[in-house]
Amino acid sequence: MSPRRWPSWHPGRPPMSMACSCPSMAASRSACSASCRAAATRAEAMRALVLSGGIAHPFAETSAAMAGILADAGLGAEIAPAGPGLDRLDENWDLVVINALAFTMTQSEKYAPLRAAHAFSISPDRRAALRDHLAGGGGLLGLHAAAICFDDWPEWGDILGARWIWGRSGHPSPDYLEVTPLSGHGLTEGLRRFRVWDELYCDLALAGDARVLATARCREQTRPQPVLTAREGPGRVVWSGLGHDMTSFATPAHRMLLTRAIHWVLRLI
């Protein structure tokens, strides 16, 4: 067997800790910290609701981490299960964050034992609540598996900006990803390429008006895949493909990216 060949940027081993070793991050933090502090000050009266829960991901831990990032960004944050949380969208939230895997689980019989406890179908009333939130100027930030959510709602991919397509989309095993923010947009201004241990979603369908703001690749998928999209409207929307587990959320570069996404969605940058 020939030796394993790694891309030049790949460290060739699993992470030994949750600390980020990316050499570019000190410069990125310096470039972004002033604008982030100013945005956090303006966000102090704003509120966010994190919709959480589902299978195959440590959502309790990552939603708590997301609430901490929101607090650092200046917002008050609450966490709620995805279903009941959707019934609270009339409480005038400035931002709704979806950190969940809420889907019908009808795509494969491997989900059959889990359906009774975890299958989710989004009702017409809850769909209308999300539409109304955005139409009223509220922001939406979808994380990672949000692209798989609400699979019985055809409009969801166009709202979020990205959608998992069963039979086409997939992901390699978690690995180091090389994430490349793209220039020319306020959300990614000053951000640099970084590494994060995460799960890379591949071959998703993007909304026609979704702007790709970052791509990523890994050892098994060297073709860059979109991992950050943004949509403009009465309410702004961002989808981030990152965030499979706590290793990802503990990476400073990823936390900075999420902070910038929060502030952009809320029109603070």
What value does the mean pLDDT of the chain take?
Answer: 90
User: Which CATH number among 3.40.50.300, 3.40.50.1000, 1.10.10.10, 3.40.50.880 corresponds to the domain 25-31+44-265?
Assistant: 3.40.50.880
pLDDT at 262 over 50: yes
Half-sphere exposure of 267 (CA within 13 A, CB side): 9
Residue 101 contacts residue 52 (beta carbons within 8 Å): no
How does 72-83 read in b/e, with b if 16+ C-beta sit within 10 Å? ebbbbbebbebb
Confidence of residue 19 (pLDDT cuts 50, 70, 90): very low
Residue 46 identity: M
**Residue for token pair 């009339």:** 90
Per-residue pLDDT reduced to its tens digit, 177-218: 999 999 999 999 999 999 999 999 999 999 999 999 999 999
pLDDT at 150 over 80: yes
The backbone torsions φ and ψ at residue 204, rounded to the nearest 5 degrees and listed phi first, read -80, 165
CB atoms within 10 A of CB 58: 13
Q: What is the pLDDT of residue 41?
A: 82
Q: What is the pLDDT of residue 38?
A: 83
The backbone torsions φ and ψ at residue 214, rounded to the nearest 5 degrees and listed phi first, read -160, 150
pLDDT at 26 over 60: no
Q: What is the mean pLDDT of residues 211-238?
A: 98
Identify the bridge partners of residue 198 per DSSP, sorted by sequence position: 175
Q: Compare 19 and 167 and report the one with higher pLDDT.
A: 167
Q: What is the pLDDT of residue 72?
A: 95
Tokens of 248: 């990802």
Residue 93 contacts residue 139 (beta carbons within 8 Å): no
Q: What is the pLDDT of residue 30?
A: 58
- Lowest average pLDDT, out of 13-22, 28-37, 57-66, 222-231, goes to 13-22
Separation CA 188–CA 242 (nearest Å) = 15
pLDDT at 98 over 70: yes
Q: What is the mean pLDDT of residues 33-39?
A: 78
CA 86: distance to chain centroid? 18
pLDDT at 228 over 80: yes
pLDDT at 28 over 90: no
Q: What is the mean pLDDT of residues 52-75?
A: 97
Q: What is the pLDDT of residue 17?
A: 37
Q: Which among 49, 138, 140 has a CA at the least distance from the CA of 88?
A: 49
Residue 199 contacts residue 211 (beta carbons within 8 Å): no
Q: Compare 39 and 145 and report the one with higher pLDDT.
A: 145
Local structure of 170: helix, strand or coil: strand
94: DSSP letter: S
First and final C-alpha spacing in the chain: 52
Local structure of 267: helix, strand or coil: coil
What does the domain layout of the chain look like in residue ranges? 25-31+44-265
Residue 229 contacts residue 212 (beta carbons within 8 Å): yes
Residue 119 identity: A
227: DSSP letter: E
Q: What is the pLDDT of residue 178?
A: 98
